[in-house]
Amino acid sequence: MAQGGRVAVQGLKLLGAGALGAFLLLAHNSWPVPPLTLSGTVLITLFALVLTRFHLRHTPVTGTTPHQAEKMIWLVAFGSIGGIQLLTRGIGDHQLLGIGFLLTAPLVAQAMLASALLGPALSVFALTVVAFLLGVSGTLPVTVLAASWLAGAVGAHAVNPLKQRSDLLRAMSIQALALGLIAVCISAGAVGRDQISIVASSAGWAALAAIIATSIFWLGVAVLEKLFDIISDWSLLELCSPDHPLLRDLMLRAPGTYAHSVIVGNLAENAARAIGANPVICRAMAYFHDVGKMNRPSYFIENQVGPNIHDSMSPTVSAMTIAAHVRDGLDLAKQYKLPPIIRDGIAQHHGTTLIRYFFDRALAQSGEQGPDITIEQFFRYEGPKPQTREAAILHLADSVEAVSRSVDRGDTENLEIAVLRVIEERRADGQLDECDLTFRDLRAIHQSFMTSLSAIRHERIVYPDSDPYETPSHSSNLDLQLDRNSSEPLRTEAGASDTPRAV
């Protein structure tokens, strides 16, 4: 009964969305419209809604759920259709060229917004569906509709990537140039040879439409991020700033963990580029994945100075303390209102892996010779396993960075064996079963890890005339006298200041 009620509610919501879409599509007509026209428009809108839902279920969506993506697509689409109707009433049907190219602005803004938040593939799909609805309903003439679709497709790719202010200016310039060129081509084919002024006017209005679309996009991204709890690459890069309060606290309270997170970010970002995943998401997740460690920094090896505190603890308590950093990280993420994709990275970066070191210690203390299923559950992370390619890359990069520290510098052969062993152990343990990584991806990730680690662990030559552990006695004829309580400039034995002078 409850299942039937949910289905009925979903059907009513779908019907309501179809009716709203039909009303917006027919707003340019004289009301009341013929019942047959209204019914046909509602049905074609319902078909578009169902097609979008089906497409999202079979298309990977990063950063949000398919349900949230569907709501965002249709909110932006209905807003775009409403904007076109308002412009149509203001411009009038008699001016299809020249100022009429302003009608392209809402569709272009829609394509840019969907692309920045959901990716260019979904953006172009949504743009095509809305253009189809506008064409069927007769809202836009074919010329303006063609210009809008072409310009929207350009805009969907112009905003990817969008990582800094200069990228927004670049996207706007590309959009203005493309839309102006499209307007010239369309208007030149529609007017005579002696009407160059109309062609120039069309190009100018089209360029203005591109600027308006970019402005709507800039405002819309901030609004949609708040409404749907989704985040753009631009906002992710802002999160990665060392000035973020949570990262600043991590840097001060657990500097070893912060350094580890930065290296993991480099490994994950390069691996993501190698397989076509989102490198910005990987870097952002890597920076925050271990923030929970700063609640007990001395319990983690990278922050320890002196004796290891775990030497005096039982393996079970040590494992519970280590595993708790994931829960602590999630609590901090909620406290600092980090976006869901970052919280997913914190929760999934260990998957359900075994805390092997303390598990082996527990077996040794109990005298067991092999794995014990009954106690193994106490030595595994809670999970879940990585659900996306980006989370899986973070999962592997975190383990590989830790293992690489146990291999001597310059020992490339053993380093490669260690990296391969980590990847294979995670695969055999089922940690990658719930993400979309392929064997080809794993080979590319392995190669990327090796390239990055080789650059990070490069050799340095030993300078023969300088020993940092030996205080020179007579190697220099200058004896610097440092007075910590004096504000005077450094002086040599002869009393000269540190300003160079000719000898």
The string of pLDDT tens digits covering residues 82-95 is 999 998 887 765 45
Confidence of residue 374 (pLDDT cuts 50, 70, 90): low
Beta bridge partners of 103: none
**CB 477: neighbour CB atoms within 10 A?**
7
Please report the pLDDT score of residue 107 as a whole number: 94
**pLDDT mean over 270-275:** 96
Confidence of residue 267 (pLDDT cuts 50, 70, 90): very high
Query: Is pLDDT above 70 for 495?
Result: no
Please report the pLDDT score of residue 192 as a whole number: 61
Question: By three-state DSSP, how is residue 57 classified?
Answer: helix
With a pLDDT cut of 70, the percent of the chain lying above it is: 86
Confidence of residue 127 (pLDDT cuts 50, 70, 90): very high
What mean pLDDT is reported for the chain? 85
Is 234-456 CATH 3.30.70? no
- Residue 4, both tokens: 């039937």
Confidence of residue 34 (pLDDT cuts 50, 70, 90): confident
Please report the pLDDT score of residue 153 as a whole number: 94
pLDDT by residue (tens digit) across 6-24? 777 788 888 888 889 889 9
**pLDDT mean over 159-177:** 85
Please report the pLDDT score of residue 96 as a whole number: 63
pLDDT by residue (tens digit) across 471-486? 554 444 444 444 444 4
Please report the pLDDT score of residue 501 as a whole number: 37
pLDDT by residue (tens digit) across 433-449? 999 899 999 999 999 99
Confidence of residue 27 (pLDDT cuts 50, 70, 90): confident
**Higher-confidence position of 404 and 187:** 404
Determine the Cα–Cα distance for residues 381 and 89; give it in Å rounded to an integer.
Answer: 60
Query: Is pLDDT above 50 for 118?
Result: yes
Question: By three-state DSSP, how is residue 387 classified?
Answer: coil
Please report the pLDDT score of residue 10 as a whole number: 80
Could you give phi then psi for residue 354, rounded to 5 degrees? -85, 135
Beta bridge partners of 497: 491
Determine the Cα–Cα distance for residues 120 and 155; give it in Å rounded to an integer.
Answer: 9
**pLDDT mean over 261-267:** 96
**pLDDT mean over 375-400:** 92
**pLDDT mean over 24-29:** 86
**pLDDT mean over 139-153:** 87
Please report the pLDDT score of residue 214 as a whole number: 93
**pLDDT mean over 252-278:** 95
In the chain, where the domains are located: 2-230, 234-456
Least confident of 31-35, 75-79, 310-314: 31-35
Confidence of residue 60 (pLDDT cuts 50, 70, 90): confident
Residue in the block written with tokens 């308590």: 317
Determine the Cα–Cα distance for residues 233 and 331; give it in Å rounded to an integer.
Answer: 24
pLDDT by residue (tens digit) across 213-253? 999 999 999 899 888 888 888 888 889 999 999 999 999 99
**Higher-confidence position of 145 and 326:** 326
Sign of the alpha-carbon dihedral angle for 484, 488, 489, 493: negative
Q: Residue 59, class by beta-carbon neighbours within 10 Å (0-12 exposed, 13-18 middle, 19+ buried)?
A: middle
Please report the pLDDT score of residue 475 as a whole number: 45
Confidence of residue 76 (pLDDT cuts 50, 70, 90): very high
- Residue 269, both tokens: 């970002």
Which residues 6+ apart lie within 8 Å of 224 measured at CB? Answer: 72, 75, 76, 113, 117, 230
- Give pTM, 2 decimals: 0.79
Please report the pLDDT score of residue 375 as a whole number: 77
Confidence of residue 498 (pLDDT cuts 50, 70, 90): very low
**Higher-confidence position of 286 and 141:** 286
Please report the pLDDT score of residue 146 as a whole number: 87
**Higher-confidence position of 148 and 410:** 148
Question: By three-state DSSP, how is residue 140 classified?
Answer: coil
**pLDDT mean over 103-130:** 93
With a pLDDT cut of 90, the percent of the chain lying above it is: 52
